[in-house]
Chains A and B, each alone.
Chain A
Amino acid sequence: MKNFEYTIKDELGIHARPAGVLAKEAKKYASTITITKDGKSAQATKLMAVMALGVKNGNTVTVTVEGDDEEQAFEGIKAFFENNL
């Protein structure tokens, strides 16, 4: 299991569009990717659950990666957050 913390820089937070792209990215990996904010978590592949977290600009989330390809998934998802969110 690997995890990292990330503070959202996107002005609008994780709204529908980025959540959709994130879900798509997360589906590339076999690992389970979980996003946690203020004790509430959601699997990155579940669009609605991620949106329901209501992650806004400036919020810090913890992203947890667990599974067979976690090294690769960790790098990929981390880069995704840094580039898109």
Chain B
Amino acid sequence: MKDKIFGVLQRVGRSFMLPIAILPVAGLLLGIGSSLTNATTISTYGLESILGTGTILNALFSIMAKAGNVIFDNLPLIFAVGVAIGMAKKEKEVSALSAMISFFVMHATINAILQIQGKVLADGTIAEGVLQGTIANVLGMKTLQMGVFGGIIVGLGVAALHNRFYKIQLPNALSFFGGSRFVPIISTITYVGVGILMYFAWPVVQNGIYALGGLVTGTGYFGTLIFGIIKRALIPFGLHHVFYLPFWQTAVGGTMEVAGKVIEGGQNIFFAQLADPNTTHFSADATRYFSGEFIFMIFGLPGAALAMYRCAKDEKKKQAGGLLLSAALTCMLTGITEPIEFSFLFVAPMLFGVQVILAGSAYMIAHMLNIAVGLTFSGGFIDLLIFGILQGNDKTSWLWIIPVGIIYFILYYVIFTVLIKKFNLKTPGREDSDEETKLYTKADYKARQEGNSEGSKQHHGDEKSFLITQGLGGKKNISDVDCCATRLRCTVINPELVNENVIKQTSPSGIIRKGKGVQVIYGPSVAVIKSNLEEYLLTAPDEIVENDNVQEANVTEQVQEEKNDDKKEVKNTRVFCSPFNGKADSITKAPDEAFAEKMMGDGFIVIPSEGVAYAPEDCEVSFITDTRHAIGLETQDGMEVLLHIGVDTVKLEGKGFNVLVEEGQKVKKGDKLMEFDMEYIRENAKSDNCIVVFTSLSEEQEVVMKTEENVKALDEVVDIISC
């Protein structure tokens, strides 16, 4: 149960990553655009002739500011669509469209009720007596101020509906609206209801949110400290996005009136103030959820990295130095801390405890010193430059970051050095010896690839993807691959097959496992690793053949327990003849997902030109379904063959089928097994395609089409190849 919740939260967290990824760009546009069009800045530096109103540069920067701002203004919609994409299991584009529709519908519904109840007047103005800030303008509609929560409610709900209904089958008359087309329909109807519900429920939630925000705001600096500690402590679980986002983006993080508009959420307030030329000093109450990050990201953690480097063994200094330097630079420039944090988190949790407390208090110290530097994503130097230095010390008090940062650098350096030495912590470069046995070396990989290229199917892909796949227990064990800013997030089918030592060969900064979820932390380059892996998985063979003795000896943990009891091996190549007249095709073309994905086994299909099934060779009829639409055969060499006539024909309840044999009967090649009414099937079921499935093949066996043309019954149609 716990694992399940972790799994869901992990998916929710990573579904935030797509919309969050746009923030740095939007922030850059808005930041550069609005600082260089700010009348005060321009006159301070005497740049009226170049940047003043009417100049081309002014026009350009104004456009940039607007382009960035529109993204912040419409974040709820962006989150609705982004979360729906992230949470949908398949056919993500359908859930994206549905989320957008639902978002419109929900807010239009709320808008309609507001008008009916007289809270919004016909001319679009807000009636008197309505509490300010509770009604907002979303995409031109006056509706309840739901902020990013509104978007997340839509995204999560639509994704749930999508995952439940995208494969729904409706009665024939309505079948056009079945499957993925049903998702926007059910979403629309549902969100009319949600809109009505929200009209009544949201004000209650709103009060709750204001109260929770009030609690953190009300407890002042102490509240900031608690926020900081919780946020940093959640990093290892990858759940921090779920936690901090409400503070950045919704009323939980406080509200403030900026330029006549009520803005909610710390980050939103900062950007509203950024766009407002009348701001004298940014609100530190708003920025306390992130301004402190500059202190420990630019100064503190690099101090820790230096401590670890200095403590590394001499012979390993070079190796550890490379790792730590790149991690420190990433952290300083972009504010992505995981590479550093994970370099010590697993080997020395004690150091992580230090990090959480130091970093948590940095938030509080920034708040106390009235430091108000905004950021889009995280507290690296790039954000400091744009939202701190360029905005000027008068507005941001960014200069304070330097002395405090230097103190933090020293604190981190000293504490880390002392603890590492005292407790002999195994930070990078201090490992006893080479603990990890090299299970898969580059040479092994090469040898293996050459071995495979001799076969019919060559596999492409880089070494890393290969190792990750192996480490996760092979292609078949991987059910889902995704990533966030720094980690590869995979779901596996059987956690026992995961071999961390193999994954470690790809030099990640850490591996986290929780039930079926496996997170491998690589740092910002993870997006590339993920796409390579996905590409690799598309072409990779299901199971890589073990043909290397050295390999065998080393693989101790590889628990590849095949359940061979139900598989009857068929050696080498075996031909199989068509039981039908018609056009042969690959099973992946079957008009039914379950068959097309080989869920029941590999095989082929025949689009019949005659309504008769023949025995493709001498065999025994092992069973006939009561609904007579499927026949099971067992060949003389023990192979099981399922003939499934048409798709969704189980619903015909036997109508249109005339079976000519009996269960247990031995038949000769060419005997008629059954007759079926193609026309009746076409009219009353999804398809008349005849599907032939080999249900007993082992994983090493593969069905290869000999022809994809018209075939006659008993013509050779496929080869079954054993690798």
- Measured CB to CB, the residues of A under 8 A from B are 12, 15-17, 19-21, 23-24, 27-28, 30, 32, 43, 45-48, 51-52, 54, 56
Contacts and interface: CB of A to CB of B under 8 A. Distances in A.
A16 B642 contact: yes
A30 B559 CA distance: 11
Interface stretch (B217-225, B276-284, B623-631): B623-631
A16 B563 contact: no
Given A15-B650, A16-B650, A46-B566, A24 B623 contact: no
A28 B493 contact: yes
Contacts of B565: 32, 43
A12 B650 contact: yes
Interface string B625-664: 1110010101000001010100000110000000000010
Interface of B: 493-494, 561, 563, 565-566, 592, 594, 599-601, 622-623, 625-627, 630, 632, 634, 640, 642, 644, 650-651, 663, 695-696
A55 B644 CA distance: 17
Q: Sort A-B residue pairs by CB-CB distance and give the 3 closest, nearest first.
A: A20-B600, A52-B623, A47-B695
Contact of A23 (B600, B622, B625, B626): B600
A47 B644 CA distance: 13
A12 B651 contact: yes
A69 to B, nearest CB: 9
B594 A17 contact: yes
Given A20-B600, A27-B563, A54-B625, A48 B493 contact: no
A52 B623 CA distance: 5
A16 B566 contact: no
Contacts of B601: 20, 47
6 contacts: A16-B594, A16-B642, A27-B563, A45-B563, A48-B634, A48-B695
Given A15-B630, A16-B642, A46-B566, 9 more contacts: A15-B627, A20-B599, A43-B566, A47-B600, A47-B695, A48-B634, A51-B632, A52-B622, A54-B625
B600 A19 contact: yes
Contacts of A56: 626
A28 B494 contact: yes
A45 B566 contact: yes
A20 B601 CA distance: 8
A19 to B, nearest CB: 7
Contact of A51 (B563, B599, B642, B651): B642
A45 B650 CA distance: 21
Nearest to B594: A17
Contacts of A51: 623, 625, 630, 632, 642
Contacts of B561: 30
A66 to B, nearest CB: 13
A47 B493 CA distance: 20
